Amino acid sequence: MYYLPRFSLNERYGEIDRVKFAASSKGLGVYDFIPKNPTINQNPPFIGFSLLDDKKAKSLNCFVFDSKGQVDREVYKFNERIEIRLSRELSPGRSRMNCTVKDSDGNWRWFGHQFYF
């Protein structure tokens, strides 16, 4: 209920260019996101969502990270529907997914989600 996607800004990810990028990014426009609960029961989780603007799907980039680093993944695009399949289970604890795309005006659009296992 109190979940809020956010950029990490800390000693590791706190350079001024990153702060400027985070402050100027706009939302991506995502709906029908699964899994609905950030606490996952299935590992690796099945991740899927739809975009309000399907034109953004073509150049969308999504990345998943856990305590071991970046998780290899396959990103499947079906018109506005995006599905992400991970190559391995997520490590216990907190993991995150970030998806970005540049819009036609040159603005970065961003969507982030955390998972707990």
Domain extent listing, the chain: 16-116
| Alpha-carbon torsion (93, 72, 65, 55), positive or negative | negative
Whole-angstrom distance, CA of residue 89 vs CA of residue 4: 24
**Whole-number pLDDT of residue 51:** 94
d(CA 101, CA 5): 17
Tens of pLDDT, residue by residue over 49-88, are 999 988 888 899 999 999 999 999 999 999 899 999 999 9
Which segment of 9-13, 17-21, 43-47, 79-83 scores lowest on mean pLDDT? 9-13
Greater model confidence, 17 or 83 = 83
Q: Which two tokens stand for residue 87?
A: 């190559």
pTM of the model: 0.84
Pairwise CA distance, residues 88 & 19, whole Å: 31
Fold of 16-116: Immunoglobulin-like (2.60.40)
